[in-house]
Amino acid sequence: MLREITQIEKLSLIKQHEKYVGLLATLGKTVRVELTNGSVITGQAQDIDIEGRLVVVGADDNSVRHVIDTGDVVHLRNADHG
């Protein structure tokens, strides 16, 4: 495992990001995000931007693209299961 971490550390930040995003199970799934202000966004988890924020394309508001800081996310789950 240490060898693998060393190899990843040698990659550029963009390549590290691409590798990370490629491993995520959440992307492409329908999610429900509850924000700290009480509002809720339901849509498709589309991406993780280079700063680590979740990008959700909203289903309820004409496919508006929401960029969500992890600090703002109270609850994130597959909306189909809850």
Strand arrangement, sheet containing 73-78: 65-68, 54-58, 40-48, 30-35, 73-78
Place of tokens 């988890």: 45
* Structural domain boundaries enclosing 31: 2-81
pLDDT at residue 70 in the model: 66
Q: How many domains does the chain have?
A: 1
pLDDT in tens, 59-78: 767 789 999 986 667 555 55
Closest to 54 in 3D by CA, of 80, 28, 81, 82: 28
**pTM of the full predicted structure?**
0.72
Q: What is the DSSP letter of 34?
A: E
CATH of the domain at 47: 2.30.30.100
Place of tokens 């498709």: 44
Q: In whole angstroms, how far apart are CA 49 and each of 1, 3, 35?
A: 26, 27, 18
